[in-house]
A and B are shown apart, each in its own frame.
Chain A
Amino acid sequence: MKDKPVIELRDVWKIYDMGEVRVEALRGINLNVHKGEFVAIQGPSGSGKSTAMNMVGCLDVPSKGHILLDGHDIARLSESQLAQVRGKKIGFIFQKFNLINTLSAQENVMLPLTFLDVPEEKRKQISYKLMETVNLGDRTDHKPNELSGGQQQRVAIARALAVDPEILLADEPTGNLDSKSGETVMHFLEDLHRKGKTIVMVTHDDNLAKFADRIEVLKDGQIVKSLKCYHKDGKNYCEEK
C-alpha cells in the first residue's frame, strides 16, 4: 500500500489576485495519497479544503508548486488532457450532487462513459449494474428531481464509479443529506474503500472524517495537523501522528 503515491501535492500554493486584495487560499501544502488510502481533508469553512480538493481533482491548477498524478505533473497538461485525466482517473462526488436535470438517472451515470466514447450497449450495461449497486435499479428512468436527496447522491456515486476511476473525490458528500441518508452514503464509501478504491474526502465534520485512514487538518491554507485513524469494534479512533 505504501508504494509510490497516486496523488502528490508538493508545496502547492493557490493565490487569488483580486485587484488590491490578495487571497492566499493555499499556502504551501504537501500531501501524498497512496493507492487504496482513504484520506479526509478536514477544516472549517474558508480553510482552503475545497480549493485543495479541486487541485487534487485536476479542476484547478496551482499558482505555485506541483501536483503529480501517478508521477506526472498536471501543470504540463492541456485543458483537454486535464479533462481526459478527470474522465478516466477521477470520480467526483459533490455536496450538491450535481446531476444533470434534463437527463434520467441512468443517463447521468452513462455520461462520463459517453465522453470516453464507450459504445452505447456497454454504457447501458455498466450504468445499469452501477444503478443496482447503489440500490436504485428500479429508478433508472427517473429524472433527478423525481428522486430524494439520498437517492440523488447515490446516483452521483454510481456516476463517479462509471469509468472505474483510480480515485474517488468526495466534497462534503453528506452535507445536503439527512443523517440516515448520510449514513447510507458513508457506508457506500466505506465499502468502496474496502474494495480497494482510493478515496479523498473533504469535510468539516469530525465524525465523518473519522471514517478515513488519515485526517489532514487544514487551517488558513496550511495543513496544521495529521491524524491517523483506526477502526476497532465498530468505532473509529484517531490520534496525532
Chain B
Amino acid sequence: MFKDFFKLAVENLTHRQLRSWLTVIGIVIGIAAVVALVSLGKGLQYTVDQQFVKIGADKITVTAKSASQGGPGIQDSGITLTTNDLDVVRKSSGVHEAIGPLQKIAKIEFNKKTKFSFIRGMPVDDTRIVYDDTGMYDVEYGRTLKEGDNNKIIIGPELAKESNFGRQIYVNDKIHINDEEFTVVGIIKTGGNPGVSSIIMMTLDDARDLFDEKEEVSMIMVKIYNAEELDQVVENIKKDLRRERNVKEGREDFTVESTKKFVESFLVIFNVITTLLIGLASISLLVGAIGIANTMYTAVLERRREIGIMKSIGAKNSDIIQIFLIESSLIGFIGGTIGVLIGSGLSLLAEKLIETFLGEGFFQVFLPWWLLLGAALFALVIGTISGIFPARQATGMNPVDALRS
C-alpha cells in the first residue's frame, strides 16, 4: 500500500510542480547552509588542532609587549627582549631548552626585482630541538641549515613562486638580502605552517651580522621537559623575567604564552562563532519547514474535495495521513538531498580557495558520510513533522463537507 501512496504523493507533487519546487528551495537553502558551515567549521577546527599538535603541547613563547599594545599615541616604546632574558628563561625551572630567534624585515633582490620580506635568524646548533620537532622548517627540496653554514638560506614555498620575482627560485639560486649575497640551500615544504610560507630563514649568526644586532632577540621560544607542567613553567618564567627586568606583577613589559592556551582560546571563540552561524542557518531551515507546512496546508485546502472522495470510497484516516506525510517528507528529502549536494559543493569550493592562498594540504573540509546522510534524513524528518498538522487537518474533515466544497 505504501508504494501506491508514494506514487499518489509523487503525482500530487508533480501536478503542482512550481509550488513544490519553491517549497523545496526553502529546505535546500537551510540544509546547504548547515552542511557548508558544519563541514567548514569542523574542518577549520581540525586544522587548528593539527597545527597545535605539530607545534607541540610543550612549547612556550615569550614576546616583548610592543608599542601597539600600549595603546594609541604611544611611540615605539623600544621594549625588546635580549640575550640576557634568554639566559634567564633558559635557567627557569622546568625549561628544557630555549632559543632567541631574530626576525626583521629586509630588502630582497632576485632576478632584478626587489621585494621586502621577513628574515628569520634561527640557531642551528643543538638548541634547534626547540623547533625541529614542529616540522615547521622541514624542507621539500635541498637541505636544511646546519652548523657552520655561512650566507646560506632556506626559503618559504610561497616566496619561491614565480609570481614574486618573475622567476621560480630554486636551490642554489643566489639572492641578495640587504645587498649581501646568499645562496638558497633549501625550499620549505608546502602545506606546512602558513606562518613560514613566505619567510627567509638563515642562521642566527648570519642574521646578527646582517642586521648588526648583537643583543636583541625577537622572541624567546621555549621547549619544556613535561607538557603537563606547562602552566607552572609559564609562571616560573614570568617570575624570573620580572626579577630580571625589574617589573612588578601585573605591569609586565613582556608576555609569556603557551601555544596550548592560545589554541584553546581560539577554539572557544571559534566554537561560539560556528555555533552562532549554524544557529542562523537553522533559522533558515525553520523557515523552510514553515514553508512546507504552508504548502501542505494549501494542498489540504485545495484537495478538500479529493480527501472527501477518498474517504467516501473507503480511505481510513490513517491512509489520508500517510498520503500527506509522504508528500511533505518527500519535499523535505528532495530539498535535503539537493541541499547536501550544494552545501558540500560550497565547502569544497572554499577548500580550493583556501588552498590557493595557503597551499595544498593545509586545510581540509570535514565531509563524512554521516554528516551528508544525517542532513538529508534530518530534512526528511523536518518534512514529516511539517506535514503532521496539515495531515491531521485533512483527516478531521467531515467527508460530506469535503465533498460539497
Contacts and interface: CB of A to CB of B under 8 A. Distances in A.
Interface of A: 54, 57, 59-60, 79-80, 83-84, 86-88, 92, 94, 98-103, 111-112, 114-117, 120, 159, 163
Interface of B: 1, 3-4, 8, 11-12, 15, 305-306, 308-319, 398-400, 403
B335 to A, nearest CB: 22
B400 A115 contact: no
> Taking chain B's interface residues, is the majority helix, strand, or loop, or is none over half, making it mixed?
helix
A115 B313 contact: yes
B323 to A, nearest CB: 11
Given A59-B399, A102-B15, A115 B312 contact: no
Contacts of A163: 314
Nearest to B306: A100
A120 B2 CA distance: 12
B314 A88 contact: yes
Nearest to B312: A92
Contacts of A99: 309
B405 to A, nearest CB: 11
A137 B400 CA distance: 31
A103 B315 CA distance: 16
B316 A54 contact: no
A116 B309 contact: no
B152 to A, nearest CB: 80
Contacts of A116: 314
B314 A59 contact: no
A160 B398 CA distance: 20
Nearest to B311: A83
A115 B306 contact: no
B317 A87 contact: no
Contact of B4 (A100, A114, A159): A114
B311 A54 contact: no
B50 to A, nearest CB: 55
29 contacts: A59-B311, A59-B400, A59-B403, A60-B398, A80-B316, A80-B318, A83-B316, A83-B317, A83-B319, A84-B314, A87-B314, A88-B314, A92-B312, A94-B403, A98-B305, A98-B308, A98-B309, A98-B403, A100-B309, A100-B310, A102-B8, A103-B8, A103-B11, A111-B310, A112-B314, A115-B310, A115-B315, A115-B319, A116-B314
